[in-house]
Amino acid sequence: MSDKKNWPLWEIFVRSKNGLEHRHFGSLHAADAEMALENARDVYTRRNEGVSIWVVESKHITASNPEHNGELFEPAQDKVYRHPTFYDLPDEIKHM
Amino acid sequence: MSEEQIKNLEDQFEARIARDEKIEPKDWMPDKYRKTHIRQMSQHAHSEVVGMLPEGNWITRAPSLRRKVALLAKIQDEAGHGLYLYSATETLGVSRNELYDQLHSGKAKYSSIFNYPTITWADMGAIGWLVDGAAIINQVPLCNTSYGPYARAMIRVCKEESFHQRQGYEIMMKLANGTPEQKDMAQDALNRWWWPSLMMLGPTDDKSVHTAQSMKWKLKRKSNDDLRQQFIDQTVPQAELIGLTIPDADLKWNEDRKSYDFGEIDWDEFWQVVKGHGPMNKERMKARVGAWEEGEWVRDAAMAHAKKKQERKQKQVV
């Protein structure tokens, strides 16, 4: 079988119940989006684990590189003033 | 990278695992970690897939609709487990086709237990009770393994697996409480599956090549011998409860150890089966490779259909 005929990889996101976000459940191979949805139903929701499924072809996902985590996430590390505990208030103060 | 830099990265990596941090697909990892995980995870996936074959043998002959829907659901779960594990393995940069090739060419192994035949209905009971029972003992510690995608797949697998064991035990219980012929059938299945189930937990610790490294990477939390002892200790009372006899004359409760002593395992048989000389090795591979090759036109047709639909859609947009 030639390589170009291989079924592409899809990432599967499932909302387990209304009110919750879609969460990444795993991946699977399928010829197209419709088949990916049907296969995701069988592979990831055999026991009522979901009320909604998203499928995205894996190649369309752009991911950050963990080797660059330093420069990417470091700017948040020294900004303690973004947290409520940074501010000194008297203990008597209520509802704040 | 210089050797020193690699050594440094490796030390940091080992320290992360020791701190119980998870490793994710895009993180740097030593080559050996990647290779060991590809080997173990794909072996695990192959076992799920080949494991469907001995049971598939009985779907059309299940004795009632209740048994049939349960067996179908169990086999479908195994297909699902194979798929979770294959896609988790693919995150390490190996393609699904490479993994299938390794299985079909005999380069990759799968659990040797599936190379035994399923000759009576009671074998469906014995497999669920003993084989899935041993598998659960092996798998529960993996829910906490260091490689994130493997741990996540195992959590799903373990959640689903407990029904497998319960439906198997129920089959055995029913047969053991049935006619004398049915009880014999249950005992015969236990006789044939007991020793292979003990072997399934792997070679003894002094013969197991991967244990030390695997412990460090949390691919293993307990040694093969400890897992085997745990399996025996929990299974013997289950057999007694339904009036079946474990086929081991040396099996005896050891009050000092608070564990069962048990007889010698025939490791020659184990290695024969691992090396491909079990009763069903050829048959299993023939069925598996046959299914893959005969399905090729379906896979190609699905791809051609998807392409045609895509092109039609693009034309409409223009």
Q: How many CA atoms lie within 13 A of B213 on its CB side?
A: 11
- Contacts of B138-141 with C-beta under 8 Å, sequence gap 24+, read B138/B200, B138/B201, B138/B227, B141/B220, B141/B221, B141/B222
Q: Which of residues 17-46 of B touch A (CB under 8 A)?
A: 24, 26-28
What is the value of ipTM here, to two decimals? Answer: 0.88
Mean pLDDT of B137-156: 95
Cβ contact, residue pair B153, A35, below 8 Å = no
* Cβ neighbours of A1 in B, within 8 Å: 97, 296, 299-300
Q: What is the pLDDT of residues B16-60, one digit of tens each?
A: 999 999 999 999 999 999 999 999 999 999 999 999 999 998 999
Q: Which of residues 22-61 of A touch B (CB under 8 A)?
A: 26-29, 31-32, 35, 42-44, 46-47
Query: Chain B contact for A7, CB < 8 A?
Result: yes
Cβ contact, residue pair A31, B28, below 8 Å = no
d(CA B222, CA B211): 9
End-to-end distance of chain B based on CA atoms, in angstroms? 50
What is the pLDDT confidence band of residue B2, given thresholds at 50, 70 and 90? confident
* A9-82: CATH architecture: Roll (3.10)
Residue A82 burial by CB count (10 A; 0-12/13-18/19+): exposed, middle or buried? exposed
Whether the pLDDT of residue A1 is over 70: the answer is no
DSSP helix/strand/coil, B222: coil
Q: What is the pLDDT of residues B266-287, one digit of tens each?
A: 999 999 999 999 999 999 999 9
d(CA B10, CA B23): 13
Q: Hey, what amino acid is at B317?
A: V
Q: What is the pLDDT of residues A44-83, one digit of tens each?
A: 999 999 999 999 999 999 999 999 999 999 888 889 999 9
* Cβ neighbours of B23 in A, within 8 Å: none
* Cβ neighbours of A29 in B, within 8 Å: 96
d(CA B112, CA B275): 9
Whether the pLDDT of residue A3 is over 60: the answer is no
Q: Hey, what amino acid is at B131?
A: V
Query: What are the two backbone dihedrals, phi and then psi, of residue A17, each rounded to the nearest 5 degrees?
Result: -155, 160
Query: What are the two backbone dihedrals, phi and then psi, of residue B254, each rounded to the nearest 5 degrees?
Result: -110, 105
Whether the pLDDT of residue B208 is over 90: the answer is no
Cβ contact, residue pair B300, A5, below 8 Å = yes
Task: Supply the pLDDT for residue B318.
Answer: 74
